[in-house]
Amino acid sequence: MNGGRDTRRPLVAPSLLAADFLRLGQEVEMLNESAADWLHLDIMDGLFVPNLSYGLPIVEQVKRVARKPLDVHLMIVHPERYVEAFSAAGADVLTVHYEVSPHLHRVVQQIKQAGMKAGVALNPHTPVALLEEVLPELDMVLVMSVNPGFGGQSFIEGSVEKVARLRDRIDRRGGQTLIEVDGGVNFETGRRLVAAGADVLVAGSFIFQSPDPARCIAGLKEIG
Ligand code: DX5
Ligand code: ZN
């Protein structure tokens, strides 16, 4: 089921989109004290996705208090214009969408030269085969398991097999590229995603709407 790999526990990246922004400092402190591995920050521009979220000032503020890497997911057109700005704001992993990047190889190099890990995100309809040429360059592929733009949406079932296909491509090359999955992740979908080969689970509403977010994060870490 997992391509013969040893079963591994996932990295967990809570999405701050679902946090209480009026208590953002305390939310980050809760994540600092939790089993979370990374903090996932969703940047939306109202163009690539039909929603707006927050931008550089929030990333900078979170960076001041976070003691874990910042995993920044750009859902914006022309991400190449903002790579250095997000590096300066404190991003450790920067992910751009395949669908807005005609010069994907170039922007991936730009992200690495700015000192960050480089990720590429795939919308639900975008096949993993389109990454064939660039895959060796990538630190991470983000498989969207909902259409990007909103938290709290239902998990798209085909994402599990998509992760398995990507796992197979990465393993056949002997690559180290991480697979992150974002959207509708909970204990049940998370378990199936990890079995299919996911390395990093992003979860927003499942964590922040639970009565005990830190415990929920610890539960996701136990998968595998
Ligand atoms: C959606 C964002 C996600 C979002 C996930 O476009 O990329 O990171 O916060 O939210 P949930 O876990 O609620 O589906
Ligand atoms: Zn995201």
Inter-residue contact 183 to 144 (CB < 8 Å): yes
- Cβ of 190 below 6 Å from ligand 1: no
At 83, list the tokens.
């790579």
**Residue 161 amino acid letter:** E
Q: CB within 8 A of 140, min separation 6: which ones?
A: 93, 95, 117, 118, 119, 120, 177, 178, 179, 180, 200
Question: Residue 25: which CATH number?
Answer: 3.20.20.70
- The alpha carbon of 55 and the centre of ligand 2 are apart by a number of angstroms equal to 13
Inter-residue contact 124 to 144 (CB < 8 Å): yes
What is the number of structural domains in the chain? 1
The whole-number pLDDT of residue 224 equals 84
Residue among 44, 142, 150 whose CB has most ligand 1 atoms within 8 A, to mutate = 150
- Cβ of 185 below 6 Å from ligand 1: yes
> What is the residue whose two structure tokens read 């398991």?
145
At 136, list the tokens.
């060796």
Q: What is the bridge-based pairing of β-strands 93-97 and 117-122?
A: parallel
CA distance 23 to 20: 5
- The alpha carbon of 172 and the centre of ligand 2 are apart by a number of angstroms equal to 27
Ligand nearest to the CA of 183: 1
Instruction: State how far the alpha carbon of 106 is from the alpha carbons of 21, 111, 112, 134, in Å.
Output: 34, 9, 10, 10
- Cβ of 153 below 6 Å from ligand 1: yes
The whole-number pLDDT of residue 7 equals 61
pLDDT tens string for the chain (224 positions)? Answer: 344 455 689 999 999 999 999 999 999 999 999 999 999 999 999 999 999 999 999 999 999 999 999 999 999 999 999 999 999 999 999 999 999 999 999 999 999 999 999 999 999 999 999 999 999 999 999 999 999 999 999 999 999 999 999 999 999 999 999 999 999 999 999 999 999 999 999 999 999 999 999 999 999 999 98
- Cβ of 73 below 6 Å from ligand 1: yes
Give exposure, 187-197, as e/b (b: 16+ Cβ within 10 Å). eebbbbbbbbb
Bridge partners (DSSP) listed for residue 182 = 144, 202
pTM confidence score: 0.97
Inter-residue contact 20 to 207 (CB < 8 Å): no
Q: Is 28 helix (H, G, I), strand (E, B) or coil?
A: helix
DSSP state of 4: T
The whole-number pLDDT of residue 196 equals 97
Residue among 12, 16, 42, 143 whose CB has most ligand 1 atoms within 8 A, to mutate = 42
The whole-number pLDDT of residue 192 equals 98
Atom 6 of ligand 1: nearest residue by CA position: 148
Select from 93, 90, 13, 26 the least CA-distant residue to 58: 90
Range(s) of the domain holding residue 202: 2-221
- Cβ of 152 below 6 Å from ligand 1: yes
- DSSP-derived secondary structure for 132-178: TTTGGG-SEEEEESS-TT-SSPPPPTTHHHHHHHHHHHHHHHT---E
